[in-house]
């Protein structure tokens, strides 16, 4: 058991994080070049990739692949920061959904028609919604981290908090193998359904953006609930309970967004971050007020 714990802790140390970053960069470059090669081979009809034509008929769409690996690294960072800071952990969730939208833009860019009748074309409108959502979410994440910094300056470490951090480290260690298994299963399931399943010859490749991440956010909801329950070990403050409960609601809204599309998807994602910001803002104001009483 001790050896297993040592192995899991290995994935959460800073050296492994730095090495992982370098590895992901190299893998992303190789994957980008490989994707471009497939597009070229598809263009000259050397291979036929009709099922995934939206990803293999435009060189710009090749950016989708390296972004997928960057997202994997962001998932790892989320787990890495879980024991260190709850707000940074939530912020990483917001970063992930922002990167998912950016990745989706690179995928859908090959569907743009760029006609004078822009507002009547479905994919052109979706592209416009996503572009606006990226700017709004980027600004909202900036605000969230500013509020998080203000909270950290006022934080006081004691024995109960150290015990809570140790519990979160244990949860993060458990998440490492869970997410690895989930990622391999999601990739395997997509490959089977896309290329080998007779019943899935007509496959909706809009769902490619849901691969792994829909299940991933389900896991995060369960993790957030565990964090909320364990938080009672070091604090039963009303403001902390409401803050952590609000973060769970924010994560649930992100999860629900995977069942929507178009402008509704972007609105739900933006609102989930706005909700998280408001919860954190009110929490900080509440704590400041209590100290002055």
Query: Which bin fits 40, alpha (ψ -120 to 50), beta or left (φ > 0)?
Result: alpha
> Is residue 151 over pLDDT 80?
no
Q: How large is the average pLDDT for residues 209-228?
A: 84
DSSP conformation class of 13:
S
Q: How large is the average pLDDT for residues 148-154?
A: 64
What pLDDT score was predicted for residue 3? 57
What residues contact 37, with CB distance under 8 A and at least 6 apart?
none
Q: Provide, rounded to the nearest whole percent, the portion of the chain with pLDDT above 90.
A: 19
What pLDDT score was predicted for residue 148? 86
Q: CA nearest 189: which of 216, 211, 207, 215?
A: 211
Q: Is 154 or 80 the better-scoring residue by pLDDT?
A: 80
Cα three-residue angle 97-98-101, rounded to 5 degrees:
85
CA dihedral 174, 21, 214, 82 (to 10 degrees): 40
> Is residue 198 over pLDDT 50?
no
What pLDDT score was predicted for residue 137? 96
What residues contact 68, with CB distance under 8 A and at least 6 apart?
31, 103
Confidence at 41, pLDDT banded by 50, 70, 90: confident
Highest mean pLDDT among 55-59, 240-244, 245-249: 245-249
Q: How large is the average pLDDT for residues 52-74?
A: 75
What pLDDT score was predicted for residue 286? 87
pLDDT tens sequence across 72-87: 888 888 888 888 888 8
Q: CA nearest 107: which of 215, 1, 243, 211?
A: 211
Confidence at 54, pLDDT banded by 50, 70, 90: low
Q: What are the angstrom distances between the C-alpha of 64 and each of 26, 74, 245, 256, 291?
A: 15, 15, 34, 23, 48
pLDDT tens sequence across 175-195: 877 887 887 777 777 666 655
DSSP conformation class of 57:
S
> Is residue 12 over pLDDT 50?
yes
> Is residue 203 over pLDDT 50?
no
Q: Is 112 or 172 the better-scoring residue by pLDDT?
A: 172
Phi then psi for 237, rounded to 5 degrees? Answer: -65, 135
Q: What are the angstrom distances between the C-alpha of 78 and each of 1, 95, 109, 157, 215?
A: 25, 9, 28, 22, 15
The Cα 196–Cα 192 span in angstroms is: 5
What pLDDT score was predicted for residue 193? 61
What pLDDT score was predicted for residue 135? 95
SS3 content of the chain, % helix, strand, coil (to 5): 85, 0, 15
The Cα 214–Cα 209 span in angstroms is: 9
Q: Is 50 or 276 the better-scoring residue by pLDDT?
A: 276
What pLDDT score was predicted for residue 201? 41
> Is residue 156 over pLDDT 60?
no
Find out whether 49 and 57 touch, Cβ atoms under 8 Å: no
Query: What token pair was written down for 176?
Result: 């490492």
Q: Is 41 or 285 the better-scoring residue by pLDDT?
A: 285
Least reliable range by pLDDT among 16-30, 50-64, 101-115 = 50-64
């Amino acid at each position: 058991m001790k050896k297993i714990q040592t192995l899991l802790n290995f994935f959460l140390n800073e050296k492994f994080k730095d090495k992982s970053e370098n590895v992901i960069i190299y893998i992303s470059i190789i994957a980008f070049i490989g994707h471009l090669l497939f597009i070229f081979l598809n263009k000259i009809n050397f291979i036929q990739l009709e099922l995934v034509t939206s990803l293999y008929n435009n060189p710009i769409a090749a950016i989708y692949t390296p972004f997928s690996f960057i997202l994997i690294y962001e998932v790892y960072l989320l787990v890495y920061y879980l024991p260190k800071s709850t707000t940074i952990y939530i912020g990483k969730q917001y970063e992930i959904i922002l990167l998912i939208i950016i990745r989706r833009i690179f995928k859908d860019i090959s569907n743009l028609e760029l006609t004078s009748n822009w507002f009547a074309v479905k994919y052109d409108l979706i592209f416009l919604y996503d572009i606006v959502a990226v700017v709004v979410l980027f600004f909202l994440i900036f605000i969230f981290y500013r509020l998080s910094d203000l909270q950290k300056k006022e934080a006081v470490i004691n024995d109960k908090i150290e015990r809570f951090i140790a519990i979160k480290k244990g949860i993060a260690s458990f998440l490492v193998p869970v997410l690895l298994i989930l990622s391999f299963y999601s990739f395997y399931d997509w490959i089977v359904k896309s290329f080998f399943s007779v019943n899935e010859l007509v496959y909706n490749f809009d769902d490619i953006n849901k691969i792994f991440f829909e299940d991933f956010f389900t896991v995060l909801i369960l993790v957030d609930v565990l964090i909320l329950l364990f938080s009672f070990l070091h604090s039963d403050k009303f403001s902390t309970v409401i803050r952590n409960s609000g973060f769970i609601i924010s994560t649930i809204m992100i999860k629900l967004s995977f069942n929507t599309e178009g402008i509704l998807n972007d609105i739900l994602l933006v609102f989930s971050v706005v909700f998280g910001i408001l919860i954190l803002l009110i929490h900080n104001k509440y704590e400041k007020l209590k100290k002055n009483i």
